Amino acid sequence: MTAIPPNPADLRRECAAAIAGYRYFDEREWLREAFLTVPREHFVPRRVWWPRRGDDGRYPVLDRDEQPGRWLKAVYRPLAALITQIADGAVRIEDGPSASADFTSSISCPAVVVNMLRHLDPQDGDRVLEVGTGTGYSTALLCERTRADHVVTVEIHPALTERAEEQLAALGYRPRVVCADGEQGWEPGAPYDRLLSTVGVQAIPPAWLRQVKPGGLVITPFATPARCDVLAWLRPDGQGGADGGLIDTVYFMKARSQRARKPWTELGWPRWPDWSDWSLTVTPEGRQRLRTRDG
């Protein structure tokens, strides 16, 4: 008996229901509609690496032509990113599973993309700069919200830029797709109301704060000393500075020039965490509780 292949629209709806369970569409009906409208599978290359090592210690390849059902289910796993490039393209997917974990491009997890867009909260008609086009998927979601001619997306890798532009155009999305270093923003399109970075940074690029309007919003993954990134928000002040805060734990590949780790103290972090501020109690039943001494 041949298995019936899953239907992308059904998988998209199931994925949306899971994301709704995390409350990531909260009060953003446009975002739910955009998610249900954009066919994520259109942006995913035929072959991608699955981001967890197999029994042989290598990252397996998912091939749409060989295992269409498995590939499509992976596309709509709410918490799975799919790897589209390793070592800036030096590892070829035609060569099969990869031992290298030097991931340099991916399509981010559906749930994370939705959560970032929820916090970005672009308004209809806003001018938006996206840094890290990747496959073009998150760009398409942005185009669903604001006018495509108000969206600029910047990707540093030429072949990825070209492919993303083609995939977007095939669905009728015509944002400005630029191949450049997104740490410089994109001055000709400034000022922007919103800036979404889908690459992580340790240091906020000054151009971002200059090119976003005062009171506008920057959302970016921000590297922390805790072995994870945190989604950060910043409101530029019009003078090149900004105030903001940290939102949620995420894991992102880093902007190309920011891959080498800088000393945390140089990046403004306090000596963190100060473990002596914490107390630890364990109940006879084995329940652990950590508290700050004053809370």
String marking each residue 199-238 x if it binds ligand SAM according to CB under 6 A: x---------------------------------------
Instruction: Please report whether residue 161 would count as binding ligand SAM according to CB under 6 A.
Output: no
Considering only 98, 115, 135, 167, the residue that binds ligand SAM (CB under 6 A) is 135
Considering only 16, 80, 107, 218, the residue that binds ligand SAM (CB under 6 A) is 107
* Part in contact with ligand SAM (CB under 6 A); list of ranges 55-63, 116-124, 144-152, 253-261: 253-261
The answer to whether residue 106 is catalytic is: no
Q: How far is the CB of 201 from ligand SAM (least distance, A)?
A: 9
Kindly tell me which of 206 and 214 has the beta carbon lying closer to ligand SAM: 206
Residues in the chain: 295
20 vs 111: CA distance, rounded Å: 9
- Of 98, 108, 138, 197, catalytic: 108
Edge-to-edge strand order for the sheet containing 151-155?
Answer: 176-179, 151-155, 128-131, 192-197, 212-223, 229-236, 242-250
Considering only 24, 25, 137, 222, the residue that binds ligand SAM (CB under 6 A) is 137
Instruction: Please report whether residue 44 would count as binding ligand SAM according to CB under 6 A.
Output: no
State the Cα angle at 217 between 216 and 223, rounded to 5°. Answer: 150
Q: What is the 3-state secondary structure (H, E, C) of 2-17?
A: CCCCCCHHHHHHHHHH
Instruction: Please report whether residue 165 would count as binding ligand SAM according to CB under 6 A.
Output: no
217 vs 149: CA distance, rounded Å: 19
Instruction: Give pairs for 86-91: CB < 8 Å, separation 24+.
Output: 86/49, 86/59, 88/157, 89/157, 89/159
Instruction: Please report whether residue 126 would count as binding ligand SAM according to CB under 6 A.
Output: no
181 vs 123: CA distance, rounded Å: 26
Residues 6+ apart with CB under 8 A from 23: none
Catalytic residues: 108
Contacting positions for ligand SAM (CB under 6 A):
104-108, 131-132, 134-135, 137-138, 154-157, 160, 181-183, 198-199, 253, 255-256
